[in-house]
A and B are shown apart, each in its own frame.
Chain A
Amino acid sequence: MEPDGDLVRATLGGRREAYEELVRRYSARLFGICWSRIGRHETVADLVQEALLRGFRSLSTLTEPEKFGSWLCGIAVRACLDWLKDREQGQVSFTALGPDAAPDDFLRGQPSSSSDGLEDRERRDRILAEVQGLPEIFREAVMLFYFENRSYVQMQAVLGIGPQAINARLSKARTLLRERLKSVTR
């Protein structure tokens, strides 16, 4: 896997495909970051796209290409804060939309979940809502493991704690969820 720094340099060198690889690599992580702050899927998708586009446009300002990941996550956090602030003031805009498009444009083409049973969807939504309500350290571990599909070794690098501590956090998170979800488990 090509390192992030090389892909950033390749993009600045004129290879658009290099940034496409970064988009695919980081979309899940940005989705997790935005979802944990905003919690609404339709807005989260827009914010992730916004963050990725902002990252592309301001890529030349990144002085350390190897730190692309944390830099892009910072952009996503700022996009979320901007959205929350704008929502309070009653106006929301995304540069990605353009003047004539509407947020619903982004929802066109989403996979329909109509093939899922209603009960399954409700249980999933309830689980996600309870994950959202977990304390930060447990929610972070759950998102890294279950949403971003990271291994314990990769989580170690992100969280700065050892595998036993990661295991303990995930176990505790599952225990908390189990207690809260007694009504929705099979």
Chain B
Amino acid sequence: MDCKTTEELICAALESGILDAEAARHVDGCDACRAFRDDVGRHDADLRAAFEPAQREAALVAERTIATLRREPLPQVRTLRFFPIAIAAAAGFLLAFLVFRPWRPPVVVDRVVDRVVDRIVEKHVPMNAGQVPEPKKRPMAKLEIATGPVQASKDGTAWTDVEVGGGCEMDTWVRCSPRTKAEFTLSDDSVVRLDAGTNCFFGKFRQFRLDVGRLYARATAGRVNFTVTTENGFVSLAKPGVVDVFHDIVHEKKVVETATEILLLGGSAKVHSDKSDLDVDSPARIVIVEDTAGAPQKLADGVMATAWIHDLLARRGESDELTDRVKTLLTSDLAKTEPELRKMGESCAKPIASWVYGNESRGCADQKRHQAVAIAADLATTRTIPDLISLLEDGDGTIRLTAAKALERLTGLTQGCSPGDWANDPASKSACDRWKAWQAENEGKRGSVK
């Protein structure tokens, strides 16, 4: 391969994240192309970093616009007043005329029924009743969520886009672009999530081969084990469990090694490498370098170790899995976990608010509850209003005040209560009652509350 072609492929690899194997070999042996690759990589990184603040700003503008839109009246659908009614009436008369045909003599009812039955039989009974239609092939996995492009290929060379809602059959390569995360569900309700830049082979049912990248799986019970294989070995779950597998190539001073990190977050699994077979119980972390698995270590914080899936959970919306993760993050050191909670955005406002007014937070320090309600207040949307109203009856004045301010931000209303009233007066029952009455009156108008 010549240098010019290699340079084109290096540039194209910035989009796909995958450099052609022949081009990679050329780069390894060509100083000029290696320098070009490093140079292009640096400029690519500079451009991405240059646009990041503007991307954040665009997202902020979107949220500010949404806040402004909530005070706008809904756009009115234009209706033509008289014309369509006249058209509909005329069509109705014509239909009645054609159905009843008043100029024809009346037909005996039995003959009418026979004719109708014949027409129904003609339409719905197949001509060759002996032929059984081919059953439709169900895909092995359905793409539920994607933060960017996801592609599939049967042979690893010709790639086609997979649309959200579309499926992947067995024996298919699937890849995510360098900034795309994706979530698939299998027909047995197992969930498979792929991190950015992941390349994975969806083999037979519940069998995956991870070429590079990271795969997170919530495996349900099944007739076959749920298995993720890499170049270093495999992890296999015979019963329901949760596992996160990371595989990559490490280059260091021309020594190339492959490594697989397995985080077992739920259930038990068998971890196999060429030199060992281990039975492991969760929570555990195992690292396999080349063909050697290290001893399993206790996994201290599985939620933060797999925080990469939070983007996908936030896009999915409220779920038990999201709620459990939020609660784990709340009960940990909030100084460390707060940024992660905030990244999840509005989808965790409800679970946080529920945690604050539920029994689980009663044993926690006041400061933690204050911090949690502040996060919920910042992230809250109209869907969180009922939970914020529940917090107005909390025994802690800071909690009541924070909830009241969030309600004011969302609705523009104070129900006649000043900040001092909420902070100091636990008996502001009439204001709470006004909020509850307002909620009951407006719930239907705000649209469906999920």
Q: Is the CB of A57 within 8 A of B72?
A: yes
Is there contact, CB below 8 Å, between A171 and B11? yes
Interface assignment of B116: CB less than 8 Å from any CB of chain A? no
Could you tell me which residues of chain A, from 158 to 186, have a CB within 8 Å of some CB in chain B? 163, 167-168, 170-171, 174, 177-178, 181, 185-186
Chain A residues with CB under 8 A of B8: 167-168, 171
Asked whether any CB of chain A lies closer than 8 Å to the CB of B69, the reply is yes
Which of B15, B40, B76 contacts A145, CB < 8 Å? B15
Hey, what's the 0/1 contact readout for A32-52 against B, CB within 8 Å counting as 1? 000100000100010011001
Q: Are B43 and A174 in contact (CB under 8 A)?
A: yes
Report chain B residues within 8 Å CB of A154. 149
Q: Separation in Å of the A62 CB from the closest CB of chain B? A: 10
Q: Which applies to chain A's interface (DSSP): helix, strand, loop or mixed?
A: helix
Q: Which of B25-33, B47-55, B100-108 contacts A (4 or more CB under 8 A)?
A: B47-55
A174 near B69: Cβ-Cβ < 8 Å = no
Which residue of the partner chain, among A14, A56, A131, A181, contacts B72 with CB atoms under 8 Å? A56
Q: How many A-B Cβ pairs are below 8 Å?
A: 141
A113 at the interface (CB under 8 A from B): yes
| With A146-B48, A153-B149 as contacts: A41 and B54 at CB distance below 8 Å | yes
Expressed in whole angstroms, the Cα–Cα distance for A111 and B68 within the complex equals: 19
Residue contact B47 to A31, C-beta cutoff 8 Å: no
Instruction: Tell me whether A56 and B57 are in contact (CB under 8 A).
Output: no
Q: How far is the CA of A39 from the CA of B7 in the complex (A)?
A: 32
- Give complex CA distance A127, B49 in Å: 10
Closest Cβ of chain A to B78, distance in Å, is 5
Residues B69 and A20 in contact, CB atoms below 8 Å apart: yes
Question: Is A84's CB within 8 Å of the partner chain B?
Answer: no
**Complex CA–CA separation, A149 to B56 (angstroms):** 13
Q: Which residue of A lies closest to B45 (CB)?
A: A186
Contact of A170 among B11, B54, B74 (CB under 8 A): B11
Cβ of B385 to closest chain A Cβ, rounded Å: 14
Question: Which 6 pairs across A and B sit closest by C-beta, in order of nearness?
Answer: A27-B62, A151-B149, A31-B58, A127-B50, A59-B75, A124-B50
SS class, residues of chain B in contact with chain A = helix
8-64 of chain B: CB within 8 A of chain A: 8, 11-12, 14-15, 39-40, 42-44, 46-51, 53-62, 64
Within the assembled complex, what's the spacing in Å between the Cα atoms of A148 and B267?
40
Nearest residue (CB) in A for B78 is: A60
With A20-B66, A149-B179 known as contacts, the answer to whether A178 contacts B60 (CB < 8 A) is no
Q: Which of A114-132 contact B (CB under 8 A)?
A: 120, 123-124, 127-128, 131
- Name which residue of chain B comes closest to A59, CB basis: B75
Residues of A within 8 A of B44 (CB): 174
Cβ of A77 < 8 Å from any Cβ of B? Answer: no
Inter-subunit contact B75/A58 (CB<8 Å): yes
- CB pair A27–B59 under 8 Å, yes or no, is yes
Contact with B along A90-108 (1 / 0, CB 8 A): 0000001000000000100
List B contacts of A19 (CB < 8 A): 69
Q: With A16-B447, A60-B78 given, is the CB distance from A178 to B39 under 8 Å?
A: yes
B48's closest neighbor in chain A, by CB?
A146
Q: Mark B87-131, 1 if CB is under 8 A from A, else 0.
A: 000000000000000000000000000000000000000000000
Do A147 and B54 touch across chains, with their CB atoms under 8 A apart? yes
CB contacts (< 8 Å) of A145 on chain B: these are 15
Distance between A101 CB and nearest chain B CB, rounded to angstroms: 11
Q: Is the CB of B57 within 8 A of A60?
A: no
| Known contacts A52-B65, A146-B51, A149-B179, A11 near B43 by CB under 8 Å | no
Most buried by B among A23, A27, A185: A27
B282 contacts across to A, CB distance below 8 A: none
- In the complex the two chains form, is A185's CB within 8 Å of B43's CB? yes
Query: Please, which residues of chain A bring their CB within 8 A of the CB of B148?
Result: 149, 151
Cross-chain pairs A/B with CB under 8 angstroms, 20 sampled:
A16-B74, A20-B66, A23-B65, A48-B58, A52-B62, A57-B75, A60-B75, A60-B76, A111-B60, A145-B15, A146-B51, A149-B148, A151-B15, A153-B149, A163-B12, A167-B8, A167-B15, A174-B40, A174-B47, A186-B46
Q: How far is the CA of A131 from the CA of B47 in the complex (A)?
A: 9
Please tell me if the beta carbons of B15 and A152 are within 8 angstroms of each other in the complex: yes
B161 at the interface (CB under 8 A from A): yes
> Are A49 and B39 in contact (CB-based, < 8 A)?
no
Are A110 and B50 CB-contacts (below 8 A) given A15-B447, A49-B65?
A: no
B238 CB within 8 Å of chain A:
no
> Smallest Cβ distance from A131 to chain B, in angstroms?
8
State A29–B20 Cα separation when bound (angstroms).
31
B1 partner residues in chain A, CB cutoff 8 A: none
Kindly state the separation between the CA atoms of A49 and B58 in the bound complex, as whole angstroms: 10
Interface positions of B from 244 to 263, Cβ below 8 Å from A: none
Given A111-B60, A178-B39, the answer on whether A53 and B54 have CB atoms closer than 8 Å is no
* B54 and A128 contacting across the interface, CB-CB below 8 Å: yes
Residues on A with C-beta less than 8 A from B50 are: 123-124, 127-128, 131, 146
Q: How far is A135 from B149 in the complex, measured between Cα atoms in Å?
A: 28
| Distance between A31 CB and nearest chain B CB, rounded to angstroms | 4
Q: Is the CB of A49 within 8 A of B64?
A: yes
Judge whether A86 is part of the interface by a CB distance below 8 angstroms.
Answer: no
Q: Bound complex: CA of A48 vs CA of B120, how far in Å? A: 57
Assess whether B177 is interfacial by the CB under 8 Å rule.
yes
User: Residues of B contacting A124 with CB < 8 Å?
Assistant: 49-50, 53
